Chains A and B, each alone.
Chain A
Amino acid sequence: MDKKIVIPGDLLSENSKKAGYGTYVKNDKIYSLFCGIENLREDKVGVIPLAGAYIPSVNDVVIGVVIVVTPSNWIMDIASPYDGLFHVSEYPRRVESREMPEIMNIGDSVILRVKDVDSSMKVELALRDSNFHKLKTGLVVEVEPVKVPRVIGHGGSMISMLKKETNCSIFVGQNGRIWIDGKDEDMELLSKALRKIEAEAQRSGLTDRIYNFLRSERSKQKESKPAKYFKSRKKETKLPKEGHSEEIYRKIDVLLDPKN
């Protein structure tokens, strides 16, 4: 792999015009600001940091948790040094102050978009789209924000694999909060996998590694509690079977009906 690790103060380029993210220019030379991976492109030299806090920027989609309900705002923790403000007027319909806790109370999680961040880092939040995505089921897993791209994978490869292998719905907020929903055992497996992604973020071939991990965990799951697993499976499979055969019987009946 040509992934080069750089540390703060490393010289990246002599051409100051190519300065990208995670770099600074001094005496017309570009140096790194972070411990991270050098990101060399034709026109830009950047550094992808390997650690650091989430700093909100406009149009990020994040998962927030209500920490305070004021008469006009919900103040949200967005896993960042800065709190987010979700103003009541951003809610799709008019809400009286006293109704606000009924819509969202302290501790509720919701998917939001960063509407604006001003120079004093006042973070204004808005709905992601026209829908209000309050998270009522599933659970929220937190990973380091710098590892969010790894969770998504190159071109979304990791996330689609995770979805397929665990049968869970996944939503990744850019602040490192990940909402997952599915069967309990699937969610447990998925959160394990997410932890693994976080721990092995710099490895190459991570998607394959996680795939194998999921597969082996699955077989372990089966071995460890076959009886229980079997019972629950049996119930699930039985029901549609009955439904199906009934339907077929009905169809056969229709076909055999002499009136036709």
Chain B
Amino acid sequence: MSDKPDKLITDDGLRLDGRRADEIRPMKIEIGVLSRADGSCYLEWGRNKILVGVFGPREAHPRRLQRADTAVIRYRYNMASFSVEDRARPGPSRRSIEISKVSREAFEPVIMAELFPKTAIDIFVEILQADAGTRTAAINASSIALADAGIPMKGLVTSCAFGKVDGQIVLDLNKEEDNYGEADFPVAMTQDGEITLLQMDGHLTPEEIKKGLELIKKGCKEILEIQQTVLRKKFETPVEEPEAKAEETEIEAEETEPSLEYAPEAAVVEEVIEEAEELEEELSEETTEAGAVTETVPEAEELEEIVKEAEAEVVDGEAIEEAIEAEAEEEAEEETEEEAEEEAEEEAEEEAEEEAEEEAEEEAEEEAEEEAEEEAKGPWKVVKDPSESGSRGENDE
């Protein structure tokens, strides 16, 4: 390793990548990048590239791992063979097993595992590209992926490392600093500042550690803000989008417009319907029974049937075909009928809707009751909200 730079920190206090001692590397986060995982996160931190997938709570296999009172949390830290300069031997190594263990323990205090007995929550971390501080980056990413998966957590876990480089305490080491520095000190903490992971590699004095922890607090605060912003943005996006959506609906409206071309024909059909109705009336004079039939069909769509009846009986089914202009071929007729139907329906709809509303209201009441109950649920401990009762399922026929 002869390519050690002479100085890791310049005289004016800048590091190799131009950062100051108390600055973290730039972080980029994407949420929900894996469609098969319940929650996922892709994180770039400096030159680290990390992909995390979270599954669960799901049935724990093998079953002997199940705990009767709580979920088991499994954390798998894995480096891709191409993640470092020299090919990393695939499969678990001493190092990755250790990192998996400490990282899992970093999450155990925040995940409400006791809400999901007998299940497993799996966190899979893949290091695609490593550039020092992968375990801290992985914890930051996992934290977001867990939140994305909808796993109840008391808060996000944030992680950051400090180290000693050229005798100076600096935040968030990069590859060179890690390789040629004197110490590396990764820490993970909850947002309240409770430390859930703490490791040290190298030699540090108590004063240095104190100083470093101050840096860590500052770094973690910055990271937490990034995590929170990203998460909020992810869940807020759809709300911000209505403009784009409005455009879409406009386009949709345009798309549906062609049907308006049939409107005049619909009018013709309406006329025909009126004629037919007149005929029907005439008919009904002769045959009160038949008239009764018309009365018993209040639904607008059945007007069509009446038309047809009238056609069949009086005009011998040709009325519509004649009335509609030449271009109104069978197809068009079909459409116009539809249109007419719709228009007629609209009239009838007002009434029908009222009825429907009433019905809906009935359903709504049930729903509302439930919802009310739902809201009236006890504290979070009662995750099995008994009030979210089955009556919501009553919405079938």
Listed in ascending order, the chain A residues whose CB lies under 8 Å from chain B are 1, 3, 5, 7-9, 19-26, 31, 33-36, 39, 41, 44, 46, 49-53, 55-62, 81-83, 111, 113-114, 117, 119-121, 128, 146, 148-149, 152, 154-157, 159-160, 164, 169-174, 179, 200-204, 209, 212-213, 215-216, 219-220, 222-223, 226-227, 229-230, 233-234, 237, 240-241, 244-245, 247-248, 251-252, 254-255
What is the interface of chain B mostly: helix, strand, loop, or mixed? helix
B360 touches A114 (CB 8 A): no
Closest to B359 in A: A160
How near does chain A come to B360, taking the closest CB pair, in angstroms?
A: 5
Tell me whether A61 and B390 are in contact in the complex, defined as CB-CB below 8 angstroms, given that A5-B235, A24-B112, A241-B312 are known contacts.
Answer: yes
A172 touches B392 (CB 8 A): yes
List 23 A–B pairs whose Cβ atoms lie within 8 Å, in order of A's numbering.
Answer: A5-B236, A7-B156, A8-B110, A21-B378, A34-B147, A49-B150, A52-B151, A53-B57, A53-B116, A120-B117, A120-B118, A155-B360, A155-B364, A159-B363, A169-B396, A172-B393, A212-B249, A216-B252, A216-B255, A219-B255, A230-B330, A230-B334, A244-B309
- B150-180 interface (Cβ within 8 A of A): 150-156
**Is B68's beta carbon under 8 Å from chain A?**
yes
**Chain B residue contacts of A111, Cβ below 8 A:** 393, 396
Tell me whether A33 and B364 are in contact in the complex, defined as CB-CB below 8 angstroms, given that A7-B232, A23-B379 are known contacts.
Answer: no
Tell me whether A233 and B334 are in contact in the complex, defined as CB-CB below 8 angstroms, given that A20-B375, A244-B305, A248-B290 are known contacts.
Answer: yes
How near does chain B come to A221, taking the closest CB pair, in angstroms?
A: 11
Listed in ascending order, the chain B residues whose CB lies under 8 Å from chain A are 38-39, 56-59, 68, 110, 112, 115-119, 147-156, 190-191, 228, 231-232, 235-236, 238-239, 241-242, 245, 249, 252, 255-256, 258-259, 286-290, 293, 304-305, 308-309, 312-313, 330-331, 334-335, 338, 356, 359-361, 363-368, 371, 374-380, 382-386, 388-397
Cα(A213)–Cα(B367), bound, Å: 25
What is the interface of chain A mostly: helix, strand, loop, or mixed? mixed
A252 touches B289 (CB 8 A): yes
**Chain A residue contacts of B356, Cβ below 8 A:** 160, 164
**Chain A residue contacts of B117, Cβ below 8 A:** 119-121
Instruction: Select which of A33, A46, A252 is within 8 A of B290 by beta carbon.
Output: A252
**Chain B residue contacts of A202, Cβ below 8 A:** 235, 238-239
Cα(A143)–Cα(B169), bound, Å: 51
How near does chain A come to B396, taking the closest CB pair, in angstroms?
A: 4
**Chain B residue contacts of A157, Cβ below 8 A:** 360, 364
A155 touches B235 (CB 8 A): no
How near does chain A come to B120, taking the closest CB pair, in angstroms?
A: 8
